Each structure stands twice: as structure tokens, then as C-alpha cells.
Structure 1
């Protein structure tokens, strides 16, 4: 790549960066690393309480991407691919450490993310009380439903991508989202849209 192209590479979309990476462009690799490292760490920490091991897993995923770049698929959704790779690597780590029985599935991983609505979205005391209750409802959802919501509204994945990441079919992934939202909508009567609150919640 020329210096002019490299200077503009921050504006490149993931497809361009991925293609450049596959051709050995270190700058494109670095941009993807910087773009998604925090998201992958956040997701990894929701799957494992061992933060140092999560960091190792995320770094190993990026290392593998670079080392095996010549064999990477051309058409991938980069963010979904990286999230899935982190999940699989953490599952292998758990298996190695005998945290759960030997399995080729990642289903045994428990989702640990805690939803917490940001205070600045709260309009009044009544709404604040409702939001506290909504936090509880979110965090009391079954782990798979919580993870599906997180991937859909925090990481922006499609239902198809969530299905692939969780190793389930499309209908199962759609059901996880539907049941979670149905459960929440039965209880939420606030003036702030439910989806806005879920999307803006933080650790």
C-alpha cells in the first residue's frame, strides 16, 4: 500500500481492512486490533472471571489471525468472526482447565455480563425506580437470553450471526431474543423505550 492509502486507512471499512490484512498489510491489522480489542475484552470478561486469561485469549486470537492470514476466508463479518473466535478459545481454555466436562460445544459457558442502565437516561424518581427494577429483570434472565441481547444490542450482531456464534440454528437464536424481550416488555411501563435502555446499559 502507498503512504497515501495508509494515511486514509482509518476510514476503511472492515472488508477492505480484512482484505489488506490477508495480503500482509500490518497497518490494516493494527487498525482492526485497535477497533475491536476493547469489545473482545468486554465480551471475554462476560464469559470468564479470569481477566488476565481473557486478555491472553484475545491476544492469541489476533495472533492467529495474523499468522494464518493466508488461509482466512475472504467474506466474513469481521466483528462477528472475532467474537466467535474469542468464545471458542475461552471454551477450550475452560476445557483444558477442567472447569466443565470435555465438550466440543461452547454452550456450557455461563454468561456473566451485568446490565446496568446509565443514570443520565433517567428522567425522574419514578422512572429511576422502574429502571432499577429493569436492571434486576435483565440480570435475572437465563444466561443464554442475556447473551443474545448483549450480542444483538451491544455488539450489533444480526440474528444470523448470533446463531452462528452460539452454535444454534436461526430459529433458536430468534427465540432467545423474543423470549427475553417478551419477558421484559411485560414489566416495563416507563416512558423511555426499552430497546434504548438495553442498548445503553453498561458493565
Structure 2
């Protein structure tokens, strides 16, 4: 079993309220996430606070979080977003425009990351558009518009179970995307 698979199993247990699984994920990722965030915010204490807040948010929203790639990827993306939000908030509160620009430059993506992100988005969109029309519509409403299964079911006059099944089938169809992209990027 790979690290990504074991992390996903741990996260599934967390979603069910397993505190031991949550503690294990915390121990695995807290320090690396702190280092990652510290590189963006340039403040060790603030990085620890942001990562602690991230884990608190993950625990409180554990039942609603759906991971579509890897737990590691989800954690790092969430930490990056929190750091960016913190930087933006600081900018609005007290930083001069020049200081804010310096901090934003520190977290700019390099050209390779931008290229990879664009390829991922294009491939993701291509794969979504290949889904059956109803499944595609439900998936977009859930994942891209952020609507809950119940809202979609009511809006489309379907059962919640039908909506849930469409989302799960769409995710299964899209699950090969990571392997495809890794293979293409490395070749």
C-alpha cells in the first residue's frame, strides 16, 4: 500500500470521527506544513498558528471534506491558501504596497508550476466534458459550484442517493487523471 493510499484510509477514518487517525495525520504533516507555510509568511509563530488553524478546520469539517487527489496535496493546497489569505489580510491591515508585493513575489509560482497547473486544468476539463450529461451537470454543481447533494437533488428533482451516486461515479471516472498526468509530465 502506498503512502497516498494509507493517508486516504486514515482520512476516511477521520471523517468518521476517529481521533487516533487524526492524531496520526497531524503528527505526519504538522511539521512539514509549518516549514512550507513559514517560507511564505516568513514568521515561524504565524506559520504554526496557521497550520494549527488548518487542522482545527479539518477536524470540524471532516464529514464534509472530499479529497479528490491525495491527502498530502489537499493539506498543502489548503495551507497555501490559508497563507495567501493571511498575507492578503496583513496587506490590507498594515503593510505598504511595496512590502505586500515583496511577500507576494515570494509565493509566486514558477513557470513550470504554471505550465503544469494549466495542463492539469485542461485535462480535468476534458475529462469532465466526457462524462454523461447528467453526471457532468451534477458533478459541476457539486464540485465547482460547491452545492451540497441535498441542494442538487432538490434543484434537479432527484433523490439524494442518485446525486451521491453520480458524484461517486464521476470521481471514479476521473481517478485515473493523476496517473495520466504524472506519466505525461515525466515522459
Structure 1 counterpart SS, 2:41:
coil
Instruction: State the partner residue of 2:23.
Output: 30
The structure where helix makes up a greater share of residues is 2
Q: 1:145 aligns with which of 110, 125, 136?
A: 110
> 1:53: which partner in 2?
46
How many angstroms apart in 2 are the aligned matches of 1:57 and 1:25? 23
Structure 2 residue 170 is the aligned partner of structure 1 residue 170: no
- Sort the Cα spacing of 1:171 and 1:62 in 2 relative to 1 into closer, same or farther, 3 A: closer
Contact 1:47 1:109 in 2 (8 A): no
| CA shift in 2, pair 1:171/1:15, >3 Å | closer
In structure 2, relative to structure 1, the CA distance for the partners of 1:26 and 1:14 (3 Å cut) is: same
TM-score w.r.t. length of structure 1: 0.47
Return the match for 2:104 from 82, 100, 108.
108
Q: Check the 8 A contact 2:15/2:62 in 1, yes or no.
A: yes
Cα gap change, 1:94 to 1:29, in 2 (>3 Å) = same
Deviations 1:180-200 (CA, angstroms, capped at 9, x unpaired): xxxxxxxxxxxxxxxxxxxxx
Q: How high is the TM-score relative to the length of structure 2?
A: 0.51
Structure 1 unaligned segments of length 5 or more: list them: 1-11, 102-106, 112-142, 149-158, 164-168, 173-203
Give the number of aligned pairs.
109
Q: Pick from 11, 20, 32 the counterpart of residue 18 of structure 1.
A: 11
Q: Specify which of 50, 75, 89 is matched with residue 96 of structure 1.
A: 89
Displacement after TM superposition at 1:49 (Å):
0.9
User: Structure 2 CA distance, aligned partners of 1:70 and 1:100?
Assistant: 40
**Could you say if the C-alpha distance between residues 109 and 78 of structure 1 is closer, same or farther in structure 2, counting changes exceeding 3 Å?**
farther
Q: Which stretches of structure 1, 4 residues or longer, exceed 3 Å deviation after superposition?
A: none
Are 1:42 and 2:35 matched, yes or no? yes
Task: Give the alignment partner of residue 72 of structure 2, picking from 79, 89, 92.
Answer: 79
